[in-house]
Amino acid sequence: MPGVEIVKVKETDDGMRLNRWFLKYYPGLSLGRLQKLLRTKQIKVDGKKAEASFKLVAGQEVRVPPLQEEKSALPEKAALSARDADFIRSLVIYEDKNIIILNKPAGIAVQGGTNTDRHIDGMLSALKSAGEETPKLVHRIDKETSGILVLARDRKNAELLTKAFRERDLHKTYLALVRGCPPRAEGEINAPLLKTGEKSVVSRDGKKALTRYRVLDSAGKKFALLEACPLTGRTHQIRAHLEHIGCPIIGDGKYFGGTRERFSQLSNKLYLHAYKIDLSEIYNKIPEARAALPEHFKQAFDYLGIKFKE
């Protein structure tokens, strides 16, 4: 067929996901268009249908249909502003030859999407050293969640970290300020979650989801500060689980028992913070990393009389 390319996978791309391979070599191709081409079998690997997550092997042949339209439609990439470069550098709380750890503020997305032009992923070039790869995302946290975000320095470490996050080898701890107080000081929430649209709901048809929690302090029975550790990795797991036990997170517009409450003396931000992560399973010389609390947490603690020592 005219315009069809058969491209052999290079040694340097061995192990790369198919969608990332297209992002690298055909940056004008949108994700939606890529998914359609895969679904209609216009893109194949070694003559067979492949999913976006398919991991390529050096020497394999990728069938690429005509993509001239996507290439010509690619707008010129805007240079990163000095303001954004300074901003992303200010978020770094730890870095070495393998990883970079950021303390992401609430309100900025990790990746771009519909009506989202400014995001962490678009600023990572400012963290690149001369002669090195641009740091890579290996996991995500919600736009309104603040705290720890781990980046890989290169593709080798990205693969290592992605696997560790997927297999739950990295232990993350979140802080959540909730309405109400659990009847038990600590426990486990074992409730399967089903993804429906933009939410996850507790359902017998869902996937196994387990969250461990501990009450750190409370303001009577009206508010409590919880430590939450997700033992599985479902979408919005902590938010959905805390709503499920009757303790929704303050400032959560999606998981608040139907109607979001606003408290006049508290910020209108989400009170969920990725506080610390233990990387010792894969980098045994790296200490536990902690992300300082955002101001809206500190102000709420002062107002409610909740005690927490960072």
CA distance 102 to 240: 25
Q: What residue type is 40 in one-letter code?
A: T
Which candidate, 268, 256, 275, 263, places its Cα nearest to that of 304? 263
Strand ranges, E, within the chain: 5-8, 44-45, 48-49, 61-64, 92-95, 99-104, 136-137, 146-152, 171-179, 186-190, 193-196, 199-202, 210-219, 223-230, 272-278, 289-290
Instruction: Respond yes or no: is residue 142 known to be catalytic.
Output: yes
Query: Strand pairing of 99-104 and 146-152?
Result: antiparallel
Tokens 């995001």 belong to residue: 119
Residue 247, strand partner residues: none
Closest among 21, 26, 23 to 10, alpha carbons compared:
21
d(CA 77, CA 62): 26
Instruction: Identify the active-site residue in 46, 84, 86, 142.
Output: 142
Residues labelled catalytic:
142
